[in-house]
A = this chain, B = another copy of it.
Amino acid sequence: MERIQLSHGGGGEESGKLIRELFYRYFSNDILLAAEDAALLHTGGKIAFTTDSFTVSPIFFRGGDIGKIAIAGTVNDLSMMGAKPLYLSSSFIIEEGFEFEKLEKIVASMAEELGKCGAKIVCGDTKVVPKGTADGIYINTSGIGEIVREGISAATIEEDDAIIVSGDVGRHGAAILMEREGLGISGDLRSDCAVLWGVVESLLAADIPIHAMRDATRGGLAAVLNEWAVQSGVCLEVEEQRIPLSTEVQGICELFGFEPYDFANEGTFIIALPAEYADRALEAMRSHEAGQKAAVIGKATHYKDGKVILRSAYGSSRYLDLPKGELLPRIC
Q: Does A60 contact B (CB under 8 A)?
A: no
A83 touches B134 (CB 8 A): no
B87 touches A36 (CB 8 A): no
Q: Which of B14, B81, B89 is close to A49, meaning CB atoms less than 8 Å apart?
A: B89
Which B residues are CB-close (under 8 A) to A143? Answer: 38
Cα separation A39 to B218 with both chains bound (whole Å): 19
Instruction: Mark the stretch among A272-280, A302-310, A318-326 that contacts chain B.
Output: A318-326
Q: Does A174 contact B (CB under 8 A)?
A: no
Q: Does A287 contact B (CB under 8 A)?
A: no
**Interface SS majority for chain A:** mixed
Cα separation A9 to B323 with both chains bound (whole Å): 12
A41 touches B47 (CB 8 A): yes
A93 touches B138 (CB 8 A): yes
Q: Which of B12, B38, B40, B135 is close to A322, meaning CB atoms less than 8 Å apart?
A: B12
- In the complex, per-residue mask of A50-74: 1 if CB is within 8 Å of any chain B CB, else 0: 1111110000000000000000000
Q: Which of B49, B54, B214 is close to A87, meaning CB atoms less than 8 Å apart?
A: B49
Q: Which 3 A-B pairs have the closest CB atoms?
A: A11-B218, A51-B89, A38-B50
Binding site for B on A (CB under 8 A): 5-7, 9-16, 36-55, 76-78, 80-81, 83, 87, 89-93, 122-125, 127-130, 132-135, 138, 140, 142-145, 147, 153-154, 214-215, 217-219, 223, 264, 322-330
Q: What would 11 A/B residue contacts be, using CB atoms closer than 8 Å? A: A6-B326, A11-B323, A12-B218, A37-B77, A38-B83, A40-B47, A43-B47, A53-B92, A53-B93, A55-B127, A127-B138
